Structure formats: C-alpha cells, structure tokens
Structure 1
Amino acid sequence: MRHAVLSLALLGLAACGRERAEAPDAVPAAEPPAEAPAAATKTLSPEALYFVGRWAADEGMCADPWIITAQELRTPGHVVCRLERIARTEAGAEAQATCTAEAPPAPYRLRFAYAQSAGALLIENGPFADVGLVRCEGGAYPPPTPLAPGQPGALPDDRTPLSEAPAAPDSPQAAATVLERYFGALAKRDFEAAWRLWSEGAPGRPESPSALAPTLAAYDSYNALIGAPGAAEGAAGSVYVRAPVQVYGRLKDGREVHALGSATLRRVNDVPGASAEQRAWRLHELRLDGAER
C-alpha cells in the first residue's frame, strides 16, 4: 500500500511539471557527446545529483535495488541506461540516455522528480513504467579505500596495540568510541543521533539536526577512521581529549574525497552535582581539511 500511495503522489507531482521539462542549463553527466562542445557545458554540483543512490519500490525490496549513479541507471529487471547528458528542470532533472532492455539500445529522455515530504523519487519516460521509489541504505558507487596509516593525508602509523579491556567511561578510549558513534550516525544519515553527541554550547555544534544534512548532501558514501586518542587534559572543571580523524568518501558524481583532521571531546569533571549527561563525553570541536581526487 505504501508503494501505491507514493507512486500516485509522485505521478501527480510530475504531471504538474511535464510542460516545463526543457532544461535551461544542460550539463554532461560523464563525458559530453561528440556533437556537444565541452566549452558549452558545465558540471552539476554533486548536491544537485539527488537521484544518485540505491532505490526500491518499497523498503522490503532493497535487497535488489535500482542503482543510479551520475553516469548510469540499472534496474533489478536488467534495464541499463547510460546517462549521457543531464539537465535541470523546474520539476527536478532530465537525462538524455541510451537504454538497453529487451531490445537494441534506444534513446530516451528520463525525467527525475523528488518528493521531499515523502522522501521518494519519481522516474518517468524510460523503457519501463513510470515508477516511485524510496531510498535504500548504502551507496551507488563502491566506497573508496582509506589511505593507509603513515601516508600523506592519513592517520599516524601508530602500531601500539589497543587494550581489549572494557574502557572506563571517563577514559580517552571511551571518548574515541563516542566519536566512532558520531561518524557512524552520519554515514547512516541519522542526523538526530549525530547531533545529540555534540556538547551543548560547543563552538562547532550545528544549530539543529537538520543543519547536518547539507554536509552530507553531496556524498554517496561517507566514512571515517578514528586514530588513537591523546591523554585527557583538564581545564576549568572540564576534561578534554583530542583524537585524529581520517574521513574518506565518494561524492555523488563519483569523485573520491579524503580529509584529515582532529576532533576534541569534552566532559564535565567528576564534581559534586554534575549529571550523568554532563559527565559523558561529547563532541566539542571538529576540524577537517579535505581534498577531492
């Protein structure tokens, strides 16, 4: 039933925009066709490629999803469309494509529209029935491999084995675990859980969970490695721990991103009257320097 409701809602959205489908600024998704001079085009920002990802008619079908990159669309039914040219439209986006189904390759003008309230994608005008899809977990591209420790832009090559004993709640290792939870929540786009791991009043704390969403909008996949934390240091009733962070991900246009930086976590010292929440490690500051390649 959910699939039917989504499809009807999205088909209605698309019908309103059919007359506006011509694109004002066509851009290449991969290399431009031979007849289109590269100088006359520009690249869509990764944030604009909202349709990149793994999709299915309903969540129960995510084991065999539609996979859409900036260069290609593949359906569970073995339809393959090469996206040769993508353009913005008022309703969303339109792609000139060459699709192969049960017949020889043929040209199509695929139309994409996104219903923000339903979190669903409509695809029209392909070699398949118009369809409404919901997003599945995981990225459309294989995730990149993180840089090996000791390489430029990677974590230090610290071969000191970590203790396998349970970490005390006030230990630096417990602080690093909170940092792992933070990046794990971001990878799942669970912005509410990630935001709750920031200290209230921290200088880098986003205004709200939704303020974290634009940071991940450009990414197809987003991952992080956490290095060995430093020693705890106290100041004015608080305790701070700094840990190195290595982020690696892939943008929705397929480019890799690698960033290296550090995070500072804070907790209130064990002073009388401090609550359990105040004594818990929370993210205080995060600094990353990234490079695309």
Structure 2
Amino acid sequence: MRSGAILLAVACLLGAPACTSSAEHEGEPTAEAERARAEGPKAVIEAYYQALSRRDYATAWQLWGKEPAADDAAFRRFVDGFKDTELAIAEVGQPGAPAPVADYVHVRVPVHIEDLRSDGTGSGYDGTYTVRRTVDDPASWHIYEGNLRR
C-alpha cells in the first residue's frame, strides 16, 4: 500500500490530471471535495492529503466541512500551517464501523502520514481521523477531528 501512496504523490508532483485542482471559483465547492464527500470516509482522507500535496488548500479546507470565504482569517491560518510542507503522503487504512452520534454518523479512519518540509526534513505520524456525515445526507462526509502523533 505504501508504494501506491508514493506513486500517487509523485504523480501529483508531476501534475497528473487526476491531481490538478479544479477550483474555478472561490467559495464554490471543488469537484475533488464533492467527489470525495460522496464516496465516503476513506476517499475524504485520501483527497485531503492529495490536496495538501498539490497546495490546493481550498479543497483541503472544504474536506473539513468548511468554506474558505466563510472565515477568511481561519482559512489563512490553516494555509499558513502548511507553508513549509512540500509533500504529505498518507497511507490510509480501512475505515472502522459506522457509529451513530446524535444526527451524525461517525467513522474512524486509521492513517500513517509522512511529510517532507522545504528544509529537507520530514516526520512520520500515526493516528486516526474521525470523518462524519449527517444522517440524512450520505454525500456529506467531512473530517470532524484528527488525532495524530509522532
């Protein structure tokens, strides 16, 4: 599985069509975010790291269920948090069982992340993301929280 993630990351860096941003209008959902949200929890996390690696921060932010135009200051802080990140590779595991919580369905998704910073250093992280959707909209999956550790 790791070799597949590396190949995808390399393809994104080389500008493969599947990895280019389709965000045409600020504030509108990107095609990548909409597709991943409809596909499910694993697709959301994979799309998130693909977006980060190609610096498509609008898509990455939308995968948290947020819109860049709604809170520009928070979006700018999010972007600044990745200013030194050159590449982020995610090995995404199989999602856990869906768990209903109030008006939502939550799913935990295990991950192993490797990142490369602009100074040539890198780090590895392991943990889980909780991805959720509303009970009545199966295409509304988004990241709810992340719990990663080195």
Please tell me the TM-score bracket, short chain as reference. 0.5 to 0.7
Number of aligned pairs? 111
How many angstroms apart in 1 are the aligned matches of 2:88 and 2:42?
18
**CA 262–251 in structure 1, closer or farther in 2 if over 3 Å, else same:** same
TM-score by length of 1: 0.35
Describe the superposition over 1:29-48 as per-residue Cα deviations: whole angstroms up to 9, x where unpaired: xxxxxxxxxxxxxxxxxxxx
Asked if residue 218 in structure 1 is aligned to residue 78 in structure 2, the reply is no
The residue type paired with residue 231 of structure 1 is A
How far 1:241 sits from its partner (Å)? 0.2
| Residue 283 of structure 1, aligned match among 123, 131, 143 | 143
How many angstroms apart in 2 are the aligned matches of 1:183 and 1:245?
11
- Structure 1 regions of 5+ residues with no counterpart? 1-136, 140-168, 201-205, 271-275
How far 1:245 sits from its partner (Å)? 1.3
Asked if residue 250 in structure 1 is aligned to residue 116 in structure 2, the reply is yes
SS in 1 for 2:49: helix
SS in 2 for 1:179: helix
Question: Which ranges of 4 or more aligned residues in structure 1 deviate by more than 6 Å?
Answer: none
- Structure 2 regions of 5+ residues with no counterpart? 1-11, 15-37, 67-71
The residue type paired with residue 182 of structure 1 is Y
Q: Which residue of 1 aligns with 2:44?
A: 178
Asked if residue 240 in structure 1 is aligned to residue 100 in structure 2, the reply is no
TM-score by length of 2: 0.64
RMSD (Å) for aligned C-alpha atoms: 2.5
SS in 1 for 2:46: helix
How far 1:279 sits from its partner (Å)? 4.7
Q: Which residue of 2 aligns with 1:93?
A: none
Ranked by relative contact order (alpha carbons within 8 Å, sequence separation 6 or more), the top structure is 2
Q: Larger helix proportion, structure 1 or 2? A: 2
How many angstroms apart in 2 are the aligned matches of 1:256 and 1:221?
9
